[in-house]
Structure 1
Amino acid sequence: MRFKTSVRNIQTFSKLTASLSSLGKVAWVRLDDDIVRFTIIPETGTQVWASLSVESIFEDYTIQSAAPNNTINLELPLPPLHRALKSALNASSASIRLTKKDGIPVLSLTIITNTISSGNSANGFLNNANSDPFGDNVFREENLDANTGRDREAIVTQDIPVRVLTADSVEGIHEPRVREPDAHIMLPSLMQLKAISDRFTKLALSTAPGGTRGGSAASTSKLELAANMHGSLKLSISTDALNISSVWTGLNNPELDPRQAIDDEDPAEHPSAKLKAAGPDAWSTVRIDGRDWGRVLSVGRLGGRVVACFSNEHALILYVYLPSYDNADESVLTVRFSNLRM
């Protein structure tokens, strides 16, 4: 089993791991010939399925295993990986390889940076001039480059412990299917949406009986998110003490991918087509935990377009399309809120 690669896009990889770390501390990573997949499935809360083309973050990619497509499955702690990548942001190059240290499998991240070393400074020379008992009559001979800064390479290797998983142990893990969406809409800036969502949640918690303690506070942190098929998105929160909402209009309702259509299905019978025909006052609505939602919106740091798919009172799925790198295939990060209740 072998895995070795250079990190092609350190900044994007670092932003991705930062966003994933806010949603879960451990990820299942599936590597194969073409795709890198990160999956987070907590016992409760948000599921994340990130699928990236190899070319979007790696180059000089080598992978080999006995499994089909040279698949390797890893259980990976995200915070140590993010810290290691963060330290590599100013590196001239970075590479990752799967190896063993003291019998324990690790991902070794090797970072190479160029630093400037200085020789004897002019300041130091002048400070020592008065200590010469012979005054100005004797001169010390030096090499030409003694006072010239020189580039030097600094190499740092950081090891992230991992578990290599058997194919049988992950065979049952797959992205769950949900019913067809009632509404699909392009979201506004996630950072703007996050700022407003966080403010709504804080206001609700501050007005809840007992502050942020107890079950009443948990119930008041539920945000209501709704979309229609006429370019509108509504965010609101309601408690005994307040009722506030914000509405975005003029957003885009993208067309569904024809490849996802069910065979022999009449497009006019699709739930989103029915919602659109019902007019702008027809909404598909879900309720989500405000703090969980705020963490999810941190994926806005990745940039790219985000499409939200609503299944009324059932599920909300975000598709975060990451910017491509040198014409690499478009990568998508899927964030799923499921089994939601009104």
Structure 2
Amino acid sequence: MRFRTTVQNVLTFYRLIQTVEKLQKKCIIKFSETAMRIICNHEEGGVQVWSKIRVDALFTEYRILSHSNNEITLNLPTEALSTALRSASAEHTGANEVVMKLAKKNNLPVLSFEIFGTTQMGRKVKVAHDVRIEVMKPADVAMLTEPRCPEPDVQIMLPPLAKMRAVVERMRNLSDVIAVRANSSGRLQLSASTEVVKADITWTNCSHPRIAADGASQANGGDVDEEQEHQRERERLDSNNLFSVLVHTRSFLKFLNAHTVSKTTIACICQGHCLILFVYIGDSADVGGVLTFYIPSVLDN
């Protein structure tokens, strides 16, 4: 098993890990010949992240070799990985080359980072960080499955996540639960309420792009009988009909930490079931990858 690459886009890699670090203490990273997948599937409260990032969006001189179809899957601590990438970030150290590779230290597997840089005095320096890892067995990797969800009732482009985050931070003082509503006429609404106060924030003229094929393939699998599906289809055709899902405010804020990497974000509401959010990385003309968040619905008592 061999793996070695140069991290070309250190800042984006750091921001990706910084986002998942706020979700859980460990994550799974699966490297293949063409893509890197970051998976968070055990967060308390049910939020999951499944991502796919093109190799050429982050790395150069990429070499991988294994007996499992040239795939290597690692379980590793997000805080240690975030620390290593923060040190490697050009905005912190002036690094001009960052090499990431599999290695062994004291006979234990590590993901090793070698950071080559230059001081302000012009002296060349090398900094090393080792992140302890667990190499997952193929049988355990095969058990990793992405959530299966019903067909979304509505899809809508979200406004800039940083602005939404500021709004939701204030709503958190009102309620532990927030309602996310949207319709096919471009209306998006966030609502939080108590017994005496209710707050509604509404955006209009939001666009309705279709999600990419990879995302669409995940939005299925719900068990809905034929009459229920016909009713849902009639509701979808009514452009003024608002579809809604209740989610924990804390979970929604964790998703909004992705504002550091988001260029475009599409929300899919599966009414009464879940909220699916596709955070696209890179410019629309050259999408480098996507972070897919699954936030389960809170039962409305």
Would you say same fold, with TM above 0.5?
Answer: yes
1:97 equivalent in structure 2: 101
1:222 counterpart letter in structure 2: V
User: Cα offset for 1:258?
Assistant: 7.1
Instruction: Give SS of 2:88's match.
Output: coil
* Pair 1:6 & 2:6 matched: yes
1:337 counterpart letter in structure 2: I
**Contact 2:275-2:297 at 8 Å conserved across structures:** no
* Pair 1:50 & 2:51 matched: yes
* Pair 1:73 & 2:73 matched: yes
- For residues 190-245 of structure 1, the C-alpha deviation after alignment (integer angstroms, 9 at most, x for no partner) is 0110110110112x1xxxxxxxxxxxxxxx31011111111011001111131111
**Contact 2:80-2:131 at 8 Å conserved across structures:** yes
Instruction: Give SS of 1:172's match.
Output: coil
User: Cα offset for 1:330?
Assistant: 3.4
Task: Tell me, in whole angstroms, the C-alpha distance in 1 between the residues paired with 2:298 and 2:290.
Answer: 23
* Pair 1:323 & 2:282 matched: yes
User: Cα offset for 1:59?
Assistant: 0.7
Instruction: Give SS of 1:305's match.
Output: strand
Task: Tell me, in whole angstroms, the C-alpha distance in 1 between the residues paired with 2:261 and 2:50.
Answer: 15
2:238 equivalent in structure 1: 278
Instruction: Give SS of 2:276's match.
Output: strand
Partner of residue 333 from structure 1, selected from 288, 291, 295: 291
- For residues 117-167 of structure 1, the C-alpha deviation after alignment (integer angstroms, 9 at most, x for no partner) is 3xxxxxxxxxxxxxxxxxxxxxxxxxxxxxxxxx22110000000001100
Q: Matched residues, percent identical?
A: 31
**Contact 2:264-2:279 at 8 Å conserved across structures:** yes
Partner of residue 268 from structure 2, selected from 309, 316, 331: 309
Task: Tell me, in whole angstroms, the C-alpha distance in 1 between the residues paired with 2:76 and 2:145.
Answer: 18
2:177 counterpart letter in structure 1: K
User: Cα offset for 1:88?
Assistant: 1.4
1:221-260 to 2 correspondences below 5 Å? 221-255=176-210, 260=216
* Pair 1:111 & 2:115 matched: yes
1:22 equivalent in structure 2: 22
**Contact 2:24-2:43 at 8 Å conserved across structures:** no
Task: Tell me, in whole angstroms, the C-alpha distance in 1 between the residues paired with 2:163 and 2:43.
Answer: 29
User: Cα offset for 1:341?
Assistant: 2.1
Instruction: Give SS of 2:172's match.
Output: helix
- For residues 60-87 of structure 1, the C-alpha deviation after alignment (integer angstroms, 9 at most, x for no partner) is 001000111x011100111111111111
* Pair 1:182 & 2:153 matched: yes
Q: TM-score if structure 1 supplies the norm length?
A: 0.78
Task: Tell me, in whole angstroms, the C-alpha distance in 2 between the residues paired with 1:270 and 1:318.
Answer: 25
**Quick one: structure 1 residues 192 and 88, their matched pair in 2 at CA, closer, same or farther if it must change by over 3 Å?**
same
Unaligned runs of 5+ in 2: 221-228
- For residues 234-270 of structure 1, the C-alpha deviation after alignment (integer angstroms, 9 at most, x for no partner) is 00111113111100001001135578489xxxxxx89
Task: Tell me, in whole angstroms, the C-alpha distance in 1 between the residues paired with 2:18 and 2:164.
Answer: 19
2:63 counterpart letter in structure 1: T
1:185-196 to 2 correspondences below 5 Å? 185-196=156-167
1:168 equivalent in structure 2: 139
Aligned length, in residue pairs: 284
Unaligned runs of 5+ in 1: 118-150, 205-219, 263-268
Q: Which stretch has the larger CA shift, 330-339 or 54-63? A: 330-339
Task: Tell me, in whole angstroms, the C-alpha distance in 1 between the residues paired with 2:251 and 2:140.
Answer: 28
**Contact 2:112-2:128 at 8 Å conserved across structures:** yes
1:231 counterpart letter in structure 2: G
Find the structure with the greater CA-based Rg: 1
2:277 counterpart letter in structure 1: L
**Quick one: structure 1 residues 13 and 73, their matched pair in 2 at CA, closer, same or farther if it must change by over 3 Å?**
same
